[in-house]
Amino acid sequence: MKYMSIKNWPEDERPRERLLKYGAHNLSDAQLLAIILRTGGGGKSALDLSMELLTSFGELKKIENASPGEFAPFKGMGAVKVAQLKAAFELGRRALKETGEKGPVFSSGHDVYLYYCQRFKHLKKEVFCCAMLDAKNRVFKDYRVSEGTLTHSLVHPREAFRDAIKESAASVIFIHNHPSGDPAPSREDIAITERLADAGGIVGINVLDHIIIGDDTYTSMMEKGYIKKK
């Protein structure tokens, strides 16, 4: 079959034109991805490439969390297109944070796990995040502290509390994942938790918990006794 570029399609069938005419909410996931990618590769249109990605990864969340190397098998998915996808997903996340909606109030480690488990699902590396809470223990913002196997040098109190100090957070909860799926804390996890709890006492920001997320389960370092209640 002879390849036909999207620009040669009937105007009402082109994803970009359909978005402008009918609105983004009327387009499929593949059509929206095609607009971001703009072009295909290897004899495929941008829409063909988008459908190939969706078929291979299974869902948008897995495409969002995929590393650059995981796109290598797809012809046409060079560094520029990978960067375009990553930027689009990040803008979506930031837009959600700007809605002005108040975050949840956590009363247990299980609440934290339920709120963050989907964000950490399918990640191939350990990602360490800090959730900032107000005086009523309501989350108002979170940020990524580091990415990679946890060490004292990677998760330094200076970086871990950086934004929390700027935003005048009353307390924080740290969250990270174990790609192995087993949330049992390592010696390094325990040491980092105790170090961060001590640092929080010094800077006046209470560390409420450190949640380790695994496959459909979690560990609360507070519930395990590694963080003392105040």
Per-residue model confidence as pLDDT tens digits over 169-225: 999 999 999 999 999 999 999 999 999 999 999 999 999 999 999 999 999 999 999
- 3-state DSSP assignment of residue 4: coil
Instruction: Give me the pLDDT at residue 1, please.
Output: 44
Per-residue model confidence as pLDDT tens digits over 139-156: 998 999 988 776 655 788
Q: Which of 59, 122, 60 is nearest to 88 (CA)?
A: 60
Least confident range from 5-9, 15-19, 32-36, 54-58: namely: 5-9
Choosing among 3.40.350.10, 3.30.70.20, 3.40.140.10, 3.40.640.10, the CATH entry for 109-220 is 3.40.140.10
The model scores a pTM over 0.75:
no
- 3-state DSSP assignment of residue 177: strand
With contact defined as beta carbons under 8 Å apart, do 214 and 220 qualify? no
| Averaged pLDDT for residues 32-56 | 89
Least confident range from 9-18, 72-81, 87-96: namely: 9-18
Specify the higher pLDDT residue, 101 or 199.
199
Instruction: Give me the pLDDT at residue 82, please.
Output: 94
Instruction: Give me the pLDDT at residue 100, please.
Output: 53
Domain boundaries, the chain: 6-97, 109-220
Confidence of residue 2 (pLDDT cuts 50, 70, 90): very low
With contact defined as beta carbons under 8 Å apart, do 31 and 18 qualify? yes
% of residues, the chain, pLDDT over 70: 88
Instruction: Give me the pLDDT at residue 228, please.
Output: 81
Residue whose structure tokens are 């918990």: 209
Instruction: Give me the pLDDT at residue 230, please.
Output: 65
Instruction: Give me the pLDDT at residue 155, please.
Output: 84
Residue 156 CA to residue 154 CA, distance in Å, equals: 6
Decide if pLDDT at 7 tops 70.
Answer: no
Q: What is the DSSP letter of 24?
A: G
Residue 139 CA to residue 201 CA, distance in Å, equals: 19
With contact defined as beta carbons under 8 Å apart, do 177 and 148 qualify? no
Specify the higher pLDDT residue, 8 or 129.
129
With contact defined as beta carbons under 8 Å apart, do 141 and 102 qualify? no
Average pLDDT, the chain: 87
